[in-house]
Amino acid sequence: MTHTVRNDAIWRIPLLILAVALLLAGCGGKPDAAACEQALRKQFATAMEAGDNATPGTKPPECNGLSDAELEKLGRKVLGEEMSKQLGTTPSP
């Protein structure tokens, strides 16, 4: 009987490690605002190059996990800066 208990104890640690690894794998990590901003800039540049043939943009995967408020703030920042570059003006804060 003691032998069975020892075998069960041996499997608890690997199972616990596996369970934690699976939980962490599903988390996806903390959202990265800088990566989101970069993706939005790339999307804007692509749309500008396409001109009248531009298709509506979608939310870049790099922006997943950011709140709507954070995404809107980044979108406004990128749009303001990129439009200022196009127009040759200084963006307002």
Name the token pair of 79: 């749009």
Label residue 35 by pLDDT band (50, 70, 90).
Answer: very high
pLDDT at residue 89 greater than cutoff 80: no
The reported pTM is 0.62
Which has the higher per-residue pLDDT, 91 or 62?
A: 62
Angle at 53 between CA 56 and CA 45, to 5 degrees: 65
Which has the higher per-residue pLDDT, 8 or 49?
A: 49
Which has the higher per-residue pLDDT, 35 or 8?
A: 35
User: What span, in angstroms and rounded, lies between the C-alpha atoms of 41 and 7?
Assistant: 56
In one-letter notation, the amino acid at residue 3 is: H
Domain ranges of the chain: 33-87
| Mean residue pLDDT across the chain | 74
